[in-house]
Structure 1
Amino acid sequence: MDQPKDLIELTIPAKAQYVGVVRLAVSGIANRMGFSYDDIEDMKLAVAEACTNAVDHAYTDQLGKVDVIFRIYRDRLEIRIKDEGNSFDIAAVKQRSGPIENHLPLTAMRERGLGLHLMETLMDRVDIDGGKGVVVTLTKFMQRDEVDHDVDSPAETRSY
């Protein structure tokens, strides 16, 4: 696997009021890399969801911390959100999330894994590892242009 060009590490207390700091960091880093506005907004929402999950579920009795590591590659941004609190059964959350049901209140849908579904929809890749705590790795690839690289540019097109 290739090495990141840059690595940025941020540690926040596991408190809801610091999730906005992570959103600002995502926005600044992704903007500097050249991501589109829509991709940046998607990343901010997915990262906020992962951080909020860590804040809400990782630590019950003690105050903990959430580590956010940004790995900057030429073609993608990987964001790792790590806590050292309570782990969870990823397969069970995925199974109970099921299809979105409009008649349920949003709070019930969140408890059924809506956050995981949201992260998977907004990001190109989502990897979750449990053990001592939870590590969520969110990946977004750069979309430099909408044209395939092997298509001739207008300057190279010949007329006969």
Structure 2
Amino acid sequence: MDQTKDVIKLVIPAKAQYVGVVRLTVSGIANRLGFNYDEIEDMKLAVAEACTNAVDHAYRECEDKGNIDVTFHIFGDRLEIKIKDEGNSFDIAAVKKRCGPIENQLPFTSMRERGLGLHLMETLMDRVDIHGGQGVVVTLTKFTNRDEVDQDVDSPAKTESNR
């Protein structure tokens, strides 16, 4: 199993005005790791969605809002972003069942509101893991170099000369 190269931790109050701080942090880290503009924008949107869900749902019934812990795990081949709250949990299977599959032929306005954020995160990231219990932990993963050819694959020129 590969080891984490670096870990960066950020703790914000579970308030909407601090979600932008997380977006800026994602942008800075992802840029440093060499992700392209579109990948960075996708990550910012997915992370903002996960944080906004924590702001809107995790501490909904709490008078004193809690915190959102955002941890960036940097690996050689990927960036994993964990968004954790200690508020109200939810049943992920029930949300997926309730929202059902997204039907492309239907207009966007007819999509069910619940679960759309989850679909968005799954579309924008390479992997999304959600665990409930005491709060919710959302792990968003984006791989580096996933569209590139492996280093040990023969180039077309080399393959062509072997015929």
What's the TM-score, normalizing by structure 1? 0.89
Residue of structure 2 equivalent to 1:82: 84
SS of match in other structure, 1:87: coil
Shift, 1:81, TM fit: 0.1
After TM superposition, the structure 1 = structure 2 runs for residues 87-98 of structure 1, keeping only pairs within 5 Å, are 87-98=89-100
Structure 2: which amino acid aligns with 1:10? L
Residue of structure 1 equivalent to 2:54: 54
Quick check: 1:37 aligned with 2:37?
yes
Shift, 1:150, TM fit: 3.2
Q: Render the CA deviation track for 1:27-80: whole Å, top value 9, x for unaligned.
A: 000000001111111110100000000000000222110000000001000000
Structure 2: which amino acid aligns with 1:45? L
* Gap regions ≥5 residues in structure 2: none
**How much identity, in percent, do the aligned residues show?**
77
Residue of structure 2 equivalent to 1:134: 136
After TM superposition, the structure 1 = structure 2 runs for residues 1-160 of structure 1, keeping only pairs within 5 Å, are 1-59=1-59, 60-61=61-62, 62-100=64-102, 102=106, 105=109, 109-110=112-113, 112-143=114-145, 146-153=148-155, 159=161
Structure 1: which amino acid aligns with 2:15? K
SS of match in other structure, 1:100: coil
Q: Render the CA deviation track for 1:58-116: whole Å, top value 9, x for unaligned.
A: 0022211000000000100000000000000111001011133645747x733x20001
Q: Is the 8 A contact 1:100 1:109 kept in 2?
A: no
SS of match in other structure, 1:109: coil
What is the RMSD of the two structures over their aligned residues, measured on CA atoms?
Answer: 2.2
Q: Which whole-Å CA distance do the structure 2 matches of 1:152 and 1:104 have between them?
A: 44
Shift, 1:143, TM fit: 1.7
Structure 1: which amino acid aligns with 2:50? A
SS of match in other structure, 1:3: coil
Is the alpha carbon distance of 1:19 and 1:146 closer, same or farther for their aligned partners in structure 2, counting shifts above 3 Å? same
* Gap regions ≥5 residues in structure 1: none
What's the TM-score, normalizing by structure 2? 0.87
Structure 2: which amino acid aligns with 1:72? I
